[in-house]
Amino acid sequence: MAKIGFSEGPFRFLPVIVCGLAFFYLVLANAFTFAALGDHAGIGKQFRGAVADDAPIVGTWILLGDVLRKVLPTSGNLTAEMAAAPLVERISGYPPAAVAVFFGESKSSAQARMQWQHRLAPAFLLLALIAWVRRPKTVHLVRQTRHR
């Protein structure tokens, strides 16, 4: 039985697969939670309005989440409720600053988790691309064409 090293077979794609799956998970988590935050009864309308002006990436998460939440309508609600609870008063006081308030000082663990998910998604995409470019490749030796 031949040993397969990490530079051969399916193992050479392992870093790409791990980073790609982490990126995919973060995209889904961002989409569901930010769309749920945009649908929040207390600050949803203000948050969507502020996102449209200030945060195009979060706007993308919300658009994707709106589509996905048609299939799973309650996904992300609990996290959004927990993140929004301490922010309702501050965002209601000045709605245009909703994005700044949300991405400012964390007032709950759910808000901190959403901030980290938002920041880590592009990082894992970059790591997956680097892992793909740097994956071990098989070496093909060129046969010598002239014989002496």
- From the CB of residue 11, how many other CB atoms can be counted at a distance below 10 Å? 13
Q: Does residue 8 have a pLDDT over 70? A: no
Cβ-contact 37, 117 below 8 angstroms: no
pLDDT in tens, 15-41: 999 999 999 999 999 999 999 999 999
Q: What are the tens digits of pLDDT across the range 92-121?
A: 888 888 999 999 998 899 999 999 999 999
pLDDT tens digit sequence for 44-97: 999 999 998 888 999 999 999 999 999 999 999 999 999 999 999 999 888 888
DSSP 3-state assignment of 144? coil
Instruction: Give the integer Cα–Cα distance in Å for 34 and 65.
Output: 7
Percent of the chain past pLDDT 90, that is, above it, reads: 67
CA 144, CA 147: separation in Å to the nearest integer?
A: 7
Pick from 102, 101, 100: nearest CA to 110: 102
- Indicate the domain borders of the chain: 13-133
